[in-house]
Amino acid sequence: MKTQLRLAMVFAIAACTLPTFAQNTGATTYTSKCQMCHGADGTGNTPAGKAMKVPSFLSPATVKESNADLIAVTKNGKGKMPAYGSKLTDAEIKDVIAHVRTLQK
């Protein structure tokens, strides 16, 4: 009975923490792959972002872009932004875009 109770507790804890882990995946990937140009807040206010004239994620034009458009830019690159389609999985790209949407709020 104790083993079943412990097992149930482990599953309950895992169920509570998995969504948090999934949300943090996008933020972690953003920090390691995107932040150097786009900035922690998504405004592009970094030396690299300014040099490459990175548009802000907060601009009305970017805010109204669809997730599919942002995913395509991330996968294929655009302008001076390199393509990440071979460096990140589809799930990682989707998580990064979800994180970008949180910066827009």
Residue 50 belongs to domain with CATH number: 1.10.760.10
Which residue in the block uniquely carries the two structure tokens 């150097």? Answer: 36
With 0-12 CB in 10 A as exposed, 13-18 as middle and 19+ as buried, what is 16?
Answer: exposed
Q: How many domains does the chain have?
A: 1
Residue 27 and residue 96: Cα distance in Å, rounded? 7
State the pTM of this model: 0.76
Which residue in the block uniquely carries the two structure tokens 């827009």? Answer: 104
Residue 31 and residue 61: Cα distance in Å, rounded? 23
> Which residues form the domain of 78?
2-103
Q: Would you write out the chain's pLDDT as a tens digit for each of its 105 residues?
A: 555 544 344 444 444 444 444 456 999 999 999 999 999 999 999 999 999 999 999 999 999 999 999 999 999 999 999 999 999 999 999 999 999 999 999
Amino acid 30: pLDDT: 96
